[in-house]
Amino acid sequence: MVRRVVVALLGPVTWAPPGIDPTRWRSALAEDVVDLLATLNEVETAVAVTPEDRWLADAVVWPGTAVHEVPEPTVGAVFATLTGYDQAAVVAADAPDVPGLTLGKLLRPLSSRPVAVAPVEGSGAGLLGVAARLPVPEWLPALDLDTAAPAEVRAAAPRPGDVAVTAGWRRLRGPADLATLDPAFEGWEATRALLSGQPG
């Protein structure tokens, strides 16, 4: 039985909608992503934070969810904390409406390839997430989810085919991303409540 884990990296959030407290915004995004992870089948779930952001993890995790403290909010730092797993994915915590199926597709290629990446759709550079067989291949570069690109990961691999590029999804990092939210789409309750002005 392959042991898999999906980790939400609760990294810094650099933008919040006008009139919304950035801390409450960050918390709502993280809560929605953590809630989504709790619905995934056949994987364990966890969150990763720097020590100064431990308060955020404590505020949003479900009972029994593992919290990994990392020295910096990077993919490599998260992978380095994981032991006992065969496969792991690290995903950004500012994609509150990402479908669980999209995260499942990030793990699927690991049966035949060592690494998979999910790009960000819409505005800005970066990745939605990175998945890898563990231990992580030595050639995998240091990756920041806010700036890395699939081409950068493929260029580092011994063969470009070692890196699968899976379905992408938007991250909420600016007004253009916010405008693409679909009110009819299920999930993202905490973010939805904050945007609608409901007390949270």
Cβ-contact 50, 69 below 8 angstroms: yes
Radius of gyration of the chain (CA): 16
Torsion of CA 57, 108, 163, 140, to 10 degrees: 40
| Mean per-residue pLDDT of the chain | 95
Whether pLDDT at 106 is above 60: yes
Whether pLDDT at 36 is above 90: yes
Helices (H), the chain: 22-37, 54-60, 75-81, 100-107, 150-156, 175-178, 189-195
pTM to 2 decimal places: 0.96
Whether pLDDT at 93 is above 80: yes
Whether pLDDT at 200 is above 60: no
Mean predicted confidence (pLDDT) in 45-69: 97
- How many other C-beta atoms can be found within 10 angstroms of the C-beta atom of residue 38? 12
Whether pLDDT at 78 is above 70: yes
Q: Which residues, at least 6 apart from 184, have a Cβ–Cβ distance to it below 8 Å?
A: none
Cβ-contact 60, 24 below 8 angstroms: no
Q: Which residues, at least 6 apart from 188, have a Cβ–Cβ distance to it below 8 Å?
A: 32, 96, 97, 181
Mean predicted confidence (pLDDT) in 18-32: 97
Mean predicted confidence (pLDDT) in 119-129: 90
pLDDT confidence of residue 124: 78
pLDDT confidence of residue 46: 98
pLDDT confidence of residue 122: 82
Whether pLDDT at 81 is above 70: yes
pLDDT band at 199 (very low <50, low <70, confident <90, very high): low
pLDDT confidence of residue 184: 87
Whether pLDDT at 101 is above 80: yes
Mean predicted confidence (pLDDT) in 8-30: 96
- How many other C-beta atoms can be found within 10 angstroms of the C-beta atom of residue 31? 23
Tokens representing 55 are 């308060």
pLDDT confidence of residue 125: 87
Range from 93-107, 117-131, 138-152, 186-200 carrying the lowest mean pLDDT? 186-200
pLDDT confidence of residue 198: 61
